[in-house]
Amino acid sequence: MTRRVIALLLLIAAFAARASAQTPASDGQPAVGQVAIDAAQFLAGGGVAFVVHEGGHLFFDTLFDAKPFVKSVHFGPFPFFAVSHESATPAQEFVISSAGFWTQEATSEWLLSRRPDIRREHAPFAKGVLAFDVLTSIGYGTVAMFKAGPLERDTRGMAAAIGVDERFIGAIVMAPAVLDAYRYVRPESRWAPWTSRAVKAASVLLALKRTSSGRQ
């Protein structure tokens, strides 16, 4: 799993959070205290999204009795963790590797459907969640296109499990994230939400197809 990409995106989110404060002081600029609070909430949102991503992997690891375990990974001096497993069938591997993306797509869909005009809201925590979901999927998709990164990356696991080119998986992962970013900027769009939902459903249907076919 490409945790180094996730770590980098969290660092980017921390800096981006400083631009998220929208509560002005008397001179029309965000109050220093409010900027700090918004930055902390934005980063907390990204952190929660990270935990939910890992929780998706862990849920299916446990469901399939794949003997999950936690291992330490690092991005430079920054320590992180990864949920891995000992064994799984190809169909199970595809579901386990996909689970993190499914949590991202589900939370992004929930946020954008419930709060389509979130870009204009003062909602640093929710924006942190959305930023993690979108940027992480784009990061994974980009890495998949170049077939770069560690061998444990999720997109490689998905591609190997069903016997397709990793770039195809990268496109499936990246497409809904790009569409959700567009929805964030253009909440009035009518085609983007349904197109995004269709692409998200496609990856789930692909997993169900592979699982039902009994590929071992």
Bridge partners of 71, per DSSP, are: 82
Burial of 59 (0-12, 13-18, 19+ CB in 10 A): middle
CA atoms of 22 and 28, how far apart (whole Å): 10
- The closest alpha carbon to 23, from 46, 9, 41, belongs to 41
Domains of the chain by residue range: 3-212
Give me the pLDDT at residue 78, please. 52
CB 53 within 8 A of CB 92: no
pLDDT in tens, the chain (216 residues): 444 444 545 554 554 544 444 445 445 556 667 888 999 999 999 999 999 998 999 899 999 988 877 766 554 455 556 666 777 888 888 999 999 999 999 999 999 999 999 999 999 999 999 999 999 999 999 999 998 877 778 899 899 988 899 999 999 999 999 999 999 999 999 999 999 999 999 878 877 776 666 544
